[in-house]
Structure 1
Amino acid sequence: MFEECFGEGPFIFRLNDNGAGPLLLTQVCLERGWREYNSENGDHWNLWWRTSGFSVSHHKSLYAWQFINHIPKGSAICRKDNLVRYLRCMKKVYGSIYDFSPDGFNLPLEYTKLAAECSKCRPFTARNDIDLYYEDKPVWICKPVAQSQGRGIFLFRKLSELTYDSNTIVQKYIEKPLLIGGYKFDLRLYVCIPSYHPVTIYLYREGLARFGTDKFSLNDLKNPYRHLTNSSINKCGPGYTEMKDRIGAGCKWTFRQLRRYFQQAGISDWLLWQKISSLIILTLLSHIQQVPQTVNCFEFFGFDVLIDSTLRPWLLEVNLSPALGNDCDADRTVKKPMLHDMFDLLGLPLYNTGLCIYHIWNDDDENKLVEEDQKRAIKPSQAVVNAAGRWRKKHRKMSARSISRSKSANKVTKNNLNQNNLKTYNYTNKWGNGKDWKNAPAEEGGWIRLWPMNSRVNYNNENMSVNSKVKFMVSEVNKFSKVAKEIFKRYPAASECQLNEFLQQKFDLNRDVWIPPI
């Protein structure tokens, strides 16, 4: 049965087109008992992980036992110009709830708007001495659309300092970030989207705080180590190996380390994390209308969020296929368990430590040895095996889309399934391994479901248009944000556990409140 679910032979993973990929990802796949793809395998692979996206034709040709790590049209927000445009449109429609990203301009198209904005910011005195009042001008940050890892980014005050030779965005620079030991930092949060229809969003509990390696100062805009937090830049800086004030050596902390610092510094951060979870949902809602219904594919995003001196979170960008490098202890602490938990969440098999799968197949009940965590691990495996049974005696290959429809047909036997009657029934998009995201688990390992939020509302109403669903979901997130603020203000002396309980009861959450560990 297991072979019918994931194909004959071993579970095979494929990295990019040339077989090259992050070493950490390869290690995790091998630890799960998977085998690496080679050219002799032909089209027999189970998981294809690519840094870049797939064409729609790739998805259409998937078999039930094949999975890819991108959703067609599901990563539009990872282009900086698209993100600025989408969030601006949502802000016009829904108002201040979308005021979590710095104002931006897409160049060259919106150059005149940028010039007009620059001319009215911080007007000069009657003397109009540009050089004398240079430091009174606001700071802008320029980011090339097609670059990543901090390449091509620079800061400027005067419009005459702006130069670009490709599509670029210019945004207002957050001039008062929260500092630790005088160093600027941002947050890298990991988000998994197994489905846009229905909308299903997971956020990992752990993450990374990434620091600049020179102390922050607006007097020196040309030093990237003061202003950019990309680890690909800062690990090459002269201060990377130095023992920095409060930070130590390197440029990364885990969220656990960050929260312990907040605790020591007397910073109450509970509401901050609830604002961040709302920010992530709202960002993803900005582009779901263009994403088609899909199966057997998922998105894995890296959200970069900056915290200012008032503990207000600002979305900087969304990264497609976030870096899975293994440069320091913080990387190893966060990324390896995150990948294992994500593959468990998606229902992908575990061989060499998969005692739960062996236990299901074995009729001998003498080995009921497992502890509580192993018992919980049986549940997804049972779903896999049950799903496999529905494909018994199917000798021809069917696409993942066709199989997902055929499994969910109402009162249809396998003998009368054919291309003509597939349209007769009301189908749901189940995955080839039996995963049904209309019944998404509340958590898996460190992954916590952000959306859907609660059980009191039917978020999958088939009679609602996509626009109506988005409007409804934005209103729900707005209610959630207001309830969280109200609770935080009303119970200033409450512990984190108490605040979580109040929020769960008040908003009828059927999941844990997402907050990093401490």
Structure 2
Amino acid sequence: MALNYLEGPFVFRLNENGAGPHLLVQVCTERGWREYTGDNMTLKDRWNLWWRSGGFPSNHYKTLLPWQFTNHIPKGSSICRKDNLVRHLKCMKKIYGSIYDFSPLGYNLPLEYTKLAADCSRYEKDDRVWICKPVGQSQGRGIFLFRKLSDLTYDNMAVVQRYIKNPLLIGGYKFDLRLYVCVPSYKPLTIYLYKEGLVRFATEKFSLDNLDNPFRHLTNCSLNKLGPGYSEKKERVGAGCKWTLRQLRRYLEQSGYSDWFLWQRIACLVSLTILSQAAGIPRSSNCFEFFGFDVLIDENLKPWLIEVNVSPALGNDCEVDSEVKKPLLHDMFDLLGLPVCNTGLSLFTIWATSEEEAEDERSSRCYPSKESKRRCKMGRESIALINVCPEPQTMFRQGIPDACGDVWSRYNPLSVDRVMRRGFKGNNSTPPPFVWDNGKDWRNPVTREGGWIRTYPLTHSKPTETTEFIHHSGSPLLSETPRIAEKEIKTTVMCIYKYLKAAKDVHGKLGHLGDDPCNEFLQGSLGLNTEVWLPEK
């Protein structure tokens, strides 16, 4: 008997073994989704979102069905390997110059050992400190600091970088930022940066006198929560090792720092880093990438990129984690167009067919959590609510008007059987023109979804041959040729350069007046049609 996909809820799948972060499971459950069990071969493809900590095999994307989405883009996490990140940024800096001067000088070992040895000898009198990071490890494992080349030991591939000796300190403690980034599309390039994030502290006071104490120099939470100072109330920091970005901004304001331009530099740093790998990303659909950017701020308020993490930790170690990550995940799923499902407590379906109905829907939508209820006050695109009930076919025919069109039905699991009857063989075979990823047209991306702010593109541009993926015949357009890709990257870098230059000028003239005048003047001077990304105070 043929499987009827009209019956059943939106199903999420975690890794290969079904294990995943508790917070992610909680958010998916709050949205009315069901967890994949995989105990029935007939239902082995009955999942809608597959979330994996690592990447998917390249052939996996070719077999995606119209109702299936994954949390990784093919070749989209190259910058998450420490050696690749060093290589990408070196290449971009060589081409585009000082705009890429936001990552500490680095060397890939063993390939660049000779260059490292020469520089160690050159800077020996400066008492320069270096940090060594194994390529294949995370959470601070295997990292150590050294001054002399004779102290460097490594077994496998590693990255050695100049250590930032003058970090901005709070109460004498070093910290870095964990920023959350979502890339729903590379062609056209679309980047969102979340307005809230984590500030992660070391748990012993910073000092260069002892390079062997990881609790002074490393900010990884998985490491510091094991340290003796984790539970103590630390000067200005308090107990634990995490703040929110909101707490940091309030501290900076109270301490007399003018930080508006700092956050604009960080937003541009994120876009430039993602751009460094964009040329190697193939056309894809029904997938997205979720990054964790680690950024250090020095005493001059200059941001430094430390590393990029694929599938950043979604653990719930403390109250700050839940405060930041739960609304972040809800907002990201809304941004991607993934549904909020009826959990069965009541029978309803929402599908706005006019602007008035859309506004009514936005004002009346409710979510299980406090964070989500608070987000209902913000403007957003309407979300189709999937109704799980004994007779879904009848409900579906009555609840979805013809005005919704084929695009919505292709990406909604409730209408899959209707699509399949028309002969649709999968999302990657013959996708329709002008439609990418989760049924959305990313040539015209929303400015904001909850706390996610679009940081690129900065303005909407008219569609041209260089921004389209598919010709009506199904063949790739010129944008996939190296020459056009190079031109697009150069144009993007120049756009970000103009943004940075204008932001610096605005900060010099209006920085003392606060955030709002700076935001308004920058938007007006550049003709931006997106918000200026800035964590709230």
Give TM class, smaller chain.
Answer: 0.7 to 0.9
Structure 1 CA distance for aligned equivalents of residues 202 and 343 of structure 2: 39
Within-5 A mapping of 1:321-332: 321-332=311-322
Structure 1 CA distance for aligned equivalents of residues 499 and 218 of structure 2: 32
- Contact kept? 1:63, 1:397, Cα under 8 Å: no
Q: 1:266 to 1:353 in 2, by over 3 A?
A: farther
Structure 2 CA distance for aligned equivalents of residues 285 and 347 of structure 1: 24
Q: What is the SS of the residue equivalent to 2:301?
A: coil
Within-5 A mapping of 1:403-418: 405-406=431-432
Matched, 1:435 2:436: no
Q: CA deviation at 1:100?
A: 0.3
Structure 1 CA distance for aligned equivalents of residues 534 and 129 of structure 2: 32
Q: What is the SS of the residue equivalent to 1:467?
A: helix
Q: CA deviation at 1:166?
A: 0.3
Within-5 A mapping of 1:505-516: 505-516=524-535
Amino acid at match of 1:402: S
Aligned alpha-carbon RMSD (Å): 2.6
In structure 2, what is the equivalent of residue 454 of structure 1?
Answer: 459
Q: What is the SS of the residue equivalent to 1:14?
A: strand
- Choose the corresponding residue for 1:303, options 276, 293, 300: 293
- Choose the corresponding residue for 2:408, options 367, 388, 398: 388
- Contact kept? 2:182, 2:291, Cα under 8 Å: yes
Q: What is the SS of the residue equivalent to 2:341?
A: coil
Q: What is the SS of the residue equivalent to 2:532?
A: coil
Structure 1 CA distance for aligned equivalents of residues 195 and 54 of structure 2: 25
In structure 2, what is the equivalent of residue 84 of structure 1?
Answer: 86
- Choose the corresponding residue for 1:100, options 99, 102, 125: 102
- Choose the corresponding residue for 2:341, options 340, 351, 355: 351
TM-score by length of 2: 0.85
Q: 1:441 to 1:118 in 2, by over 3 A?
A: same
Q: CA deviation at 1:490?
A: 1.7
- Contact kept? 2:199, 2:242, Cα under 8 Å: yes
Q: 1:111 to 1:64 in 2, by over 3 A?
A: same
Q: CA deviation at 1:428?
A: 2.8
In structure 2, what is the equivalent of residue 67 of structure 1?
Answer: 69
Aligned residue pairs total 479
Amino acid at match of 2:311: S
- Choose the corresponding residue for 1:478, options 485, 488, 497: 497
Within-5 A mapping of 1:29-48: 29-39=28-38, 40=40, 41-48=43-50
Structure 2 CA distance for aligned equivalents of residues 452 and 138 of structure 1: 39
Q: CA deviation at 1:182?
A: 0.1
Structure 1 CA distance for aligned equivalents of residues 130 and 148 of structure 2: 9
Structure 1 CA distance for aligned equivalents of residues 408 and 287 of structure 2: 18
Matched, 1:28 2:27: yes
Amino acid at match of 2:443: K
Q: 1:466 to 1:347 in 2, by over 3 A?
A: same
Matched, 1:118 2:120: yes
Structure 2 CA distance for aligned equivalents of residues 87 and 378 of structure 1: 36
Q: What is the SS of the residue equivalent to 1:490?
A: helix
- Contact kept? 2:132, 2:143, Cα under 8 Å: yes
Structure 1 CA distance for aligned equivalents of residues 135 and 247 of structure 2: 32
Q: CA deviation at 1:388?
A: 3.3
In structure 1, what is the equivalent of residue 471 of structure 2?
Answer: none
Within-5 A mapping of 1:10-25: 10-25=9-24
Mind listing any 5+ residue stretches in structure 1 that lack a counterpart? 124-135, 407-426
Q: What is the SS of the residue equivalent to 1:259?
A: helix
Structure 2 CA distance for aligned equivalents of residues 138 and 444 of structure 1: 44
Q: 1:198 to 1:7 in 2, by over 3 A?
A: farther
Deviations 1:360-414 (A, max 9, x none): 2899x9x9686274794563439995433467454145211236x23xxxxxxxx
Mind listing any 5+ residue stretches in structure 2 that lack a counterpart? 365-375, 385-399, 469-477
Q: What is the SS of the residue equivalent to 1:10?
A: coil
Amino acid at match of 2:425: M
Q: 1:509 to 1:8 in 2, by over 3 A?
A: farther
Q: What is the SS of the residue equivalent to 2:443?
A: helix
Structure 1 CA distance for aligned equivalents of residues 419 and 281 of structure 2: 34
Q: What is the SS of the residue equivalent to 1:27?
A: helix
TM-score by length of 1: 0.88
Structure 1 CA distance for aligned equivalents of residues 307 and 74 of structure 2: 20
Deviations 1:432-489 (A, max 9, x none): x521111211110000011110136768545651110000000000010000001111
Q: 1:385 to 1:56 in 2, by over 3 A?
A: farther
Q: 1:430 to 1:213 in 2, by over 3 A?
A: same
Q: CA deviation at 1:308?
A: 0.3
Q: CA deviation at 1:430?
A: 2.3
Structure 2 CA distance for aligned equivalents of residues 112 and 511 of structure 1: 46
Q: CA deviation at 1:250?
A: 0.2
Structure 1 CA distance for aligned equivalents of residues 139 and 530 of structure 2: 34
Q: What is the SS of the residue equivalent to 2:315?
A: coil
Q: What is the SS of the residue equivalent to 2:165?
A: coil
In structure 1, what is the equivalent of residue 351 of structure 2?
Answer: 360
In structure 2, what is the equivalent of residue 133 of structure 1?
Answer: none
- Contact kept? 1:197, 1:293, Cα under 8 Å: yes
Structure 2 CA distance for aligned equivalents of residues 59 and 240 of structure 1: 43
Amino acid at match of 2:382: K
Deviations 1:8-41 (A, max 9, x none): 5211100000000000000000000000001223
- Contact kept? 1:294, 1:429, Cα under 8 Å: no
- Contact kept? 2:409, 2:419, Cα under 8 Å: no
Amino acid at match of 2:160: V
Amino acid at match of 1:360: W
Structure 1 CA distance for aligned equivalents of residues 462 and 231 of structure 2: 51
Q: 1:471 to 1:8 in 2, by over 3 A?
A: farther
Q: CA deviation at 1:7?
A: 6.1
Structure 2 CA distance for aligned equivalents of residues 505 and 361 of structure 1: 33
Structure 2 CA distance for aligned equivalents of residues 67 and 203 of structure 1: 21
Q: CA deviation at 1:310?
A: 0.2
- Contact kept? 2:361, 2:382, Cα under 8 Å: no
Q: CA deviation at 1:333?
A: 0.5
- Contact kept? 2:133, 2:142, Cα under 8 Å: yes
- Contact kept? 1:356, 1:378, Cα under 8 Å: no
Percent identity, aligned pairs only, is: 57
Structure 2 CA distance for aligned equivalents of residues 119 and 76 of structure 1: 31
Q: What is the SS of the residue equivalent to 1:482?
A: helix
Structure 2 CA distance for aligned equivalents of residues 15 and 22 of structure 1: 9
Q: 1:378 to 1:298 in 2, by over 3 A?
A: closer
Deviations 1:73-121 (A, max 9, x none): 0100000000001100100000000000000000011111100000010
Amino acid at match of 1:120: R
Structure 2 CA distance for aligned equivalents of residues 467 and 60 of structure 1: 27
Q: CA deviation at 1:493?
A: 2.5
Within-5 A mapping of 1:29-428: 29-39=28-38, 40=40, 41-123=43-125, 137-352=127-342, 358-360=349-351, 371=363, 373=376, 376-377=379-380, 379-381=382-384, 385-386=404-405, 387-389=407-409, 392=418, 394-395=420-421, 396=423, 398-402=425-429, 405-406=431-432, 427-428=433-434
Q: What is the SS of the residue equivalent to 2:425?
A: coil
Q: CA deviation at 1:492?
A: 3.6
Q: 1:353 to 1:44 in 2, by over 3 A?
A: closer
Q: 1:480 to 1:353 in 2, by over 3 A?
A: farther
- Contact kept? 1:289, 1:466, Cα under 8 Å: yes
Amino acid at match of 1:231: C
